[in-house]
Amino acid sequence: MKLALTFPASHCCLGLLLAIAGSAWAGPVLTVAWRDKPPYHYLEKEIPTGFLLDRSQRIFSAAGIPVRFVSEPQKRIWANFEHGARNYCSISWYRLPEREALAQYSLPIHTDPPHSILIAPGALSQVKAHATLASLLADSSLTLGVVDGVSYGHDIDSMIARSGNQIMRRTVDVNSMIRMLSVGRASYMFVDREDWAFLSKREPQLRAATRHDFPDMPPGLKRHIVCSKDVPAATMSKINQAISAELAQPRGDERKGAVQ
């Protein structure tokens, strides 16, 4: 079944980025999907932006590969991979075994800092009473807010699966879960430091929640470009060469609102 990749104009696409090295490219245009995740990739006044979206544009341009960037929800992106979308890539994903069965991975394009814990105002003393993350996850009196369909990385996902906490799992975006936490719907949640730095600057009322770090938090994970299995090895090699060249370039702090 052919998958339609058509979307409303306000949310659909970055248009065509035809990154062609001369007229040598003989392959098809790749569709490159990105999901809303500020400050990595998001809409700012209806204009697609974000430091990893910009980086990915430069990578495909340097690789000489014609691409078409589109915005899609996370679940749709992985449904597209599962149902055999062709000439299809997406940016900024963790490497997980279940995803490797569906797509091929590039070299890393970014390494996250470790996750933090974000604590609801009414649960601060209860959460900080724990010296370690392992102890916190064993506390049955606390409610952990979890964004359904999102991976926090294999290690944290496994910890959540074994947790003694009450789990409040919701099909919302990360920013919505932070807002729910700020009004006490859960005791705490795992938070990407980049997400929190961006959102807390833009929505000061959320600063009632407190970010806290634990010494046994797993290290931050690497993010990759993923492509459908039909994308040729030669194309993946061009992408990887462009990634290596991009990451070798000193660019200062290209992140907007991201953690310093």
Q: Which domains does the chain have, with CATH numbers?
A: 13-112+221-247 (3.40.190.10), 116-212 (3.40.190.10)
Which alpha helices (DSSP H) does the chain contain, by range? 51-63, 74-82, 97-100, 124-128, 133-137, 154-162, 174-182, 193-202, 233-247
Model confidence at 255, pLDDT cuts 50, 70, 90, reads low
Q: In this predicted model, what pLDDT tens digit does every residue of 47-102 receive, in sequence order?
A: 999 999 999 999 999 999 999 999 999 989 999 999 999 999 999 999 999 999 99
Mean pLDDT of 144-152: 91
Residue 5 confidence (pLDDT) above 70: no
Beta pairing partners, 37: 41
Structure-token pair, residue 102: 């569906």
Query: Tell me, what DSSP letter sits at residue 103?
Result: E
Which alpha helices (DSSP H) does 118-168 contain, by range? 124-128, 133-137, 154-162
Q: In this predicted model, what pLDDT tens digit does every residue of 176-210 receive, in sequence order?
A: 899 999 899 999 999 999 999 998 998 888 888 99
Residue 19 confidence (pLDDT) above 60: no
Q: In this predicted model, what pLDDT tens digit does every residue of 108-145 receive, in sequence order?
A: 999 999 999 999 999 999 999 999 999 999 999 999 99
* Per-residue pLDDT at 205: 83
Sheet holding 188-191, edge to edge: 166-170, 143-147, 188-191, 116-119, 210-212
